[in-house]
Every structure is written in C-alpha cells, then in structure tokens.
Amino acid sequence: MCNPLVFFSTLSRALNYDLASPMATKTEVSKLKSKGIEAQGTMNLMVWRRSTISLSILFTLAIAAFQTLDYIASTSQYDSVISHANANITYTADPADSASFRGYSQRVAMSAGAAAMRDVAQVRVYCSLLNIALSLTSAVFLAVSLCCWSYYHKSRQLLMVAWLLSFAVPFGISTVPTRCFVKWDQFELQSHTYMKGVAVHYDLDARETEVVAGCTIITDPRYNRPHLSREHALTCV
C-alpha cells in the first residue's frame, strides 16, 4: 500500500461493483482455489473485500491522527482551564484591579467558568485518549482481518470487532451526559468572592454606615427636618 500504484489499484478495485468481470490477480486466484473457492463471483467478492479492508485501515489511521490532534487541543484547553480555575481572584491579588474593575470582573467570570467546567474538560481529555486507543485497536483488528482475507468467516468476525470498536463504542461515549460533571456550586463560591471585591472597590461598608446613620437622624423624632421631602424620608423608613 506504500506504492501509489498499488494504492490506486486497490482503490479502483474497491470502487468496482461489477462482480461479473474477473478482478482477482493470478496469485489471488491460486490462493482462493487452494481454499476450495472456484466460482468467479465468489472470487471477485473476496478480493473486493480485501481491497475495501485495505482502504479501511488507511482511513482508520487517518481518523486516529485527527483524534490525536483533538487530544492535543483538549489537553491544552484543560491546562488553560486548570490555570484559570486555580488563579487567585481576590480583589487585592492584582494591583490593576483598583484601576480597572472591569478586568477584575472578567477574571472572576473566567475563573468561575473554569472552576465549573474543570471536570468536563478532564472528561473530554479522557474521551479523546480513549477514542485514539479504540481507533488504533480497530486498525489492528482490520490488519489481522486483511491477513486472513481468504478465510471469509474468520475475516468477517475480525471485521465486525473492528466495526464495533470504531463506531459502536464511540457512539456510546458520546451519549455520556457531560453536563452532570459541571460543578454549579463553584459559581456560588465565585459570586461571594466577586461581591467581596465589589464591596472593597466601591467602599460599600462605609457607604452603608453613612446611609444608616443618615436614616437614623432623619427618622429620629427628636429632630425636626421640615425642609426634607417626604420621599427622602420614606427611603429611610
């Protein structure tokens, strides 16, 4: 299959559905006859299967290569998620927070999302790694099936196992509800952290003390403030 001519010959035979014309080479014919296969149509079917299995191995290896790229991307994303989730997001952790409260808000939002999605990202890494292992294992079963292509029943059983590894198992993995791994309680933890930062940035404790003191004076019957509007007084009641 490393020879381009062999590849195109295999591809051409795999795409040929005319089982009436001879498709087998002399070597293949002699090997099939040694197994007791004499019918022309059966010979064509056997060598057609041989070609399709050969192409399946190449496609499976190509899929494994793309899955490897996905695994690398998933690992990089997981490292980024861990970095944001473990970051110190207290208001005084970054000197720039006092100058840019928007930056602090953005860091809190990113940390909250990363902390909640940490397990989801980890599951995705494991699933990507498992898909690679399944694809390579499927390629091995296809290769063994190709080696015993003249033994139809044995080759067919190996081919079914390869199909199961390539499609059925990944389909089962895709049905796993990854939303169950989202840690929603991390949003509550980060919201408390954010509110502490808001209180520090806007000095809410001091302002609350001023408001309470002002309302105490306004509502105290010992003080007469006729110049205060009724609406102003009601805000402190």
Q: What is the pLDDT of residues 32-61, one digit of tens each?
A: 888 888 888 888 888 888 888 988 998 999
The percentage of residues in the chain with a pLDDT greater than 90, rounded to a whole number, is: 15
Helix axes 185-201, 101-116, angle to 10 degrees: 170
pLDDT at residue 84, rounded to an integer: 74
Q: Is 170 exposed, middle or buried (0-12, 13-18, 19+ CB in 10 A)?
A: middle
How far is residue 2 from each of residues 10, 14, 37, 54, 58, measured CA to CA in Å?
11, 17, 29, 11, 11
Higher pLDDT, 86 or 136: 136
Rounded to 10°, the helix 40-85/26-34 angle is 100
pLDDT band at 64 (very low <50, low <70, confident <90, very high): very high
* pTM of the complete model: 0.67
Check residue 180 and give its pLDDT. 74
Q: What is the pLDDT of residue 33?
A: 84
| Least confident among 47-51, 70-74, 106-110, 139-143 | 106-110
DSSP state of 93: G
Residue at 157: amino acid letter: Q
Q: pLDDT at position 167, please?
A: 82
User: How far is Cα 82 from Cα 87, in angstroms, rounded to an integer?
Assistant: 8
* Rounded average pLDDT over 194-202: 76
Pick the more confident residue, 230 or 81.
Answer: 81
What pLDDT is stored for residue 215 in this prediction? 74
Tell me the average pLDDT across 89-116.
72
Confidence of residue 68 (pLDDT cuts 50, 70, 90): very high
**pLDDT of amino acid 61:** 93
7, two tokens: 């590849």
203 vs 208: CA distance, rounded Å: 9
pLDDT of residue 4: 55
- Euclidean distance between the first and the last CA atom of the chain, given in angstroms as a whole number: 87
167 and 63 in contact (C-beta within 8 Å)? no
Residue 218, pLDDT above cutoff 90 = no
- Among 27-41, 59-73, 93-107, 123-137, where is mean pLDDT lowest? 93-107
For residue 106, count other CB atoms closer than 10 A to its CB. Answer: 11
Q: What is the CB-side half-sphere exposure of residue 176 using CA atoms within 13 A? A: 13
Task: Tell me the C-alpha distance between 89 and 190, whole Å.
Answer: 9
